[in-house]
Amino acid sequence: MSDPLVLLAWCDPERRHVRWSWAGIWVGLLVVDQHRLVYHADGAEKFSAPMAQARFVWRGSSKMTAARFDLHLPEAVFRLYLSPPSTTAPQPDPSLMDHIGGALDRISAVSLLGGTLGTLGDASGVLDNALSLPGAVTQLRSGHRAAEELRTFLGATAPVTNAGGDGSPPATGLAPRFVRGDQQTWATTVRFSLGGCTVACAHSDGSVRLWNTRVGTSRRHLQPFGRSNVVHDLAFAGAGRVILSAGEDHCVRLQDIVTGAEVARLTHPDDVRRVCVDIGGRWAATVCEDMTARIWDLRTTKLVRTVEVDCAHSMLFAPTGSGFVVSDIGGEISYFPSPDAACTGRTEKGEGVVDCLALSDDGRLAVGDSEAGVVTLFSCALDRVIGELRHSTPIACGTFSPSGRSFLGGDEEGNIVLWNLGTGQCVLRLPHQSRVESVDWDRRTGLIATGTLEGLTVWDLRDSPADGDL
C-alpha cells in the first residue's frame, strides 16, 4: 500500500441528523496513506491525523446518498459522505485537484467530480480518462465503489467498525421470486396492495411501476409527477384500486391503477415525504417538508386535522383500527388512538431522526435507531420497553410479520434480517447489493418486497429455513 488514495468527500463537521441547510458543509479531498490522513477543502487543510489515531465508523447510506462514515480523530469527530449527500449539496471546485495534485507522485482515485469518474494521473493533478456519468443513480453507485475502495485500502491500517454489535446468521441461499429493476434508477419505496395481488415500486425517475405478485409481469407504469420529480412514498386505498404517490410538487396524487387516471390530489404547502392510509381506506396521513403531520378524509379529500407534533418526520397507521404514530426529528414518538383523538402515549427514542417505524396487530411499536443497530420494542401505550433486537448496522426500515411472531428489518449494508420475537434471535439473513430502502410484508400472501439500488425484489419466506418462525 505505497500509493496514497484520494477520494472526493463531503464533510459535515457538526454531524447533523437532519440537514435543512447546507451552510457549513465542506466539499474536498480526503487523502490517506499508510501513515496519515489529510482532508483538504476551500484551499486549505481542514484536519489531519496519524492513521494509528483514526477510527472509521461506517453509517451506511440513505435514500439520496451513498456510503457515509464518522471519522473519529483525537480532537473531534467528522461525518463524511462519498457522494453528494443530497441533490442540493454543494458541488466541488475543480481547483481542488490542482491544490493537491502537485504534492502527489501518483494518485489512485475512485471519485465523483461534476458527474465525472476518472483517475488522477501524475503530479499535475489532471483528470485522465474521464467518463461522463450523468444522473443521481451513477453518483450513488460511484459512492459505493469509493467506499469499497477505501475499505480495501485501509485494510488493517486503521480500525474500521460498523455501528452496533454483531450476531447475524449466515446468509441463506434462498432465491427471490423475481427481481425488477434497471441500471438508470433505484427503488425508493415498495408497497403491496390490500389484496396482495399487486406490488408497487416507486423509482428515482419519478415512475411508479406495478407488478403482478404471482408471476412478476407488469400491470401498469405510472408517472404521477413527470420525469423530473422523485416519488418519496406510496400507499394503496380503495380496496387496492387507487394508489397514492407522495412527491416533489407539493401534493399527493391519487390515481386509478387500472386506467392510470388521476382521481384526486391532496395539496400541501411543500414537498411531501410520507403518506399512509388506514386499513379501512378512509383516512390518509401525510408529512411534508414543512415538518407538519396532517390527516385527510379520503371520502372528501379534505384536510381534517393538523396533528399537534412539532417538527414531524414520519407517520404510520396501525395495521388494525385507525390509530397512528408520529415521530419527530428529535426521536420522540407520539401515539394517537384515532384520527380525531388526542395523544395518549409519548416516548423518547434516540437522539435524532427515526427512519424505522413499525406497528404490530396487537399494538407493539418497533423503533429503529438511526445511529446504532438497535430496534427497540415498546408496549401499546408507549409506557415501557418490552425488548430490544440488536444488529451489526443501523436498521433503515422494518415491518412485523402478519402473525406478529417475527420482525423483519432492512439494514444500511444491504441485508434483510429476520428476528424471532419469542427468542430475540436472528434466524434469517438475505443479502442485497446495496442499502435496503424499503420493505413490506403482505398480510394475505406472506410475500416480502424489498426496494434497493437495484430495484424491486420479491421473496417468499415460506420456502426459507425460517418458515417456522414466521
Mean of per-residue pLDDT scores for the chain: 79
Beta-bridge mates of residue 326:
315, 334
Q: How far apart are the first and last CA of the chain?
A: 47
User: Which pLDDT value is given to residue 454?
Assistant: 85
Cβ 259 vs Cβ 248: under 8 Å: no
Instruction: Name the residue among 30, 158, 160, 154 with its Cα closest to residue 83.
Output: 30
Cβ 61 vs Cβ 412: under 8 Å: yes
Report d(CA 227, CA 208) in Å as an integer: 11
Confidence class of residue 193 from pLDDT cuts 50, 70 and 90? very high
User: Which pLDDT value is given to residue 328?
Assistant: 87
CA distances from 144 to 73, 87, 126, 433, 448 (A): 23, 17, 24, 10, 25
Confidence class of residue 104 from pLDDT cuts 50, 70 and 90? very low
Cβ 354 vs Cβ 366: under 8 Å: no
For residue 393, pLDDT over 90 is answered with no
Cβ 53 vs Cβ 159: under 8 Å: no
Neighbours of 17 (CB within 10 A): 17
Confidence class of residue 135 from pLDDT cuts 50, 70 and 90? very low
For residue 157, pLDDT over 70 is answered with no
Percent share of the chain, pLDDT over 70: 76
Report d(CA 82, CA 146) in Å as an integer: 7
Confidence class of residue 13 from pLDDT cuts 50, 70 and 90? confident
Confidence class of residue 39 from pLDDT cuts 50, 70 and 90? very high
- Across 330-344, average pLDDT: 89
Neighbours of 161 (CB within 10 A): 12
- Across 286-299, average pLDDT: 93
Report d(CA 307, CA 312) in Å as an integer: 9
User: Which pLDDT value is given to residue 100?
Assistant: 47
User: Which pLDDT value is given to residue 158?
Assistant: 39
Task: Look up residue 343 and give its three cell numbers.
Answer: 395523544
Residue 291: HSE in the Cβ half-sphere, 13 Å Cα cutoff:
11
Q: Is 462 helix (H, G, I), strand (E, B) or coil?
A: helix
Instruction: Name the residue among 357, 388, 362, 355 with its Cα closest to residue 374.
Output: 388
Report d(CA 442, CA 420) in Å as an integer: 18
User: Which pLDDT value is given to residue 287?
Assistant: 94
97 or 53, greater pLDDT = 53
User: Which pLDDT value is given to residue 159?
Assistant: 40
User: Which pLDDT value is given to residue 243?
Assistant: 96
Percent share of the chain, pLDDT over 90: 31
For residue 107, pLDDT over 50 is answered with no
For residue 134, pLDDT over 50 is answered with no
User: Which pLDDT value is given to residue 257?
Assistant: 93
For residue 198, pLDDT over 90 is answered with yes
Domains of the chain: 5-162 (2.30.29.30), 178-469 (2.130.10.10)
Grid cell 480523530 — which residue?
73
Confidence class of residue 14 from pLDDT cuts 50, 70 and 90? confident
Cβ 248 vs Cβ 225: under 8 Å: yes
Q: What is the side-by-side strand order in the sheet with 415-420?
A: 395-400, 406-411, 415-420, 425-431
The torsion angle over the Cα atoms of residues 314, 318, 321 and 322, rounded to 10 degrees, is 0
User: Which pLDDT value is given to residue 269?
Assistant: 93
Cβ 253 vs Cβ 265: under 8 Å: yes
User: Which pLDDT value is given to residue 89?
Assistant: 65
Cβ 19 vs Cβ 86: under 8 Å: yes
148 or 59, greater pLDDT = 148
- Across 302-307, average pLDDT: 94
Report d(CA 413, CA 109) in Å as an integer: 22
User: Which pLDDT value is given to residue 310?
Assistant: 84
Beta-bridge mates of residue 104:
none
User: Which pLDDT value is given to residue 137?
Assistant: 52
Report d(CA 396, CA 62) in Å as an integer: 8
Report d(CA 30, CA 166) in Å as an integer: 29
For residue 418, pLDDT over 80 is answered with yes
For residue 260, pLDDT over 80 is answered with yes
User: Which pLDDT value is given to residue 98?
Assistant: 56
Confidence class of residue 105 from pLDDT cuts 50, 70 and 90? very low
Report d(CA 34, CA 62) in Å as an integer: 30
Confidence class of residue 209 from pLDDT cuts 50, 70 and 90? very high
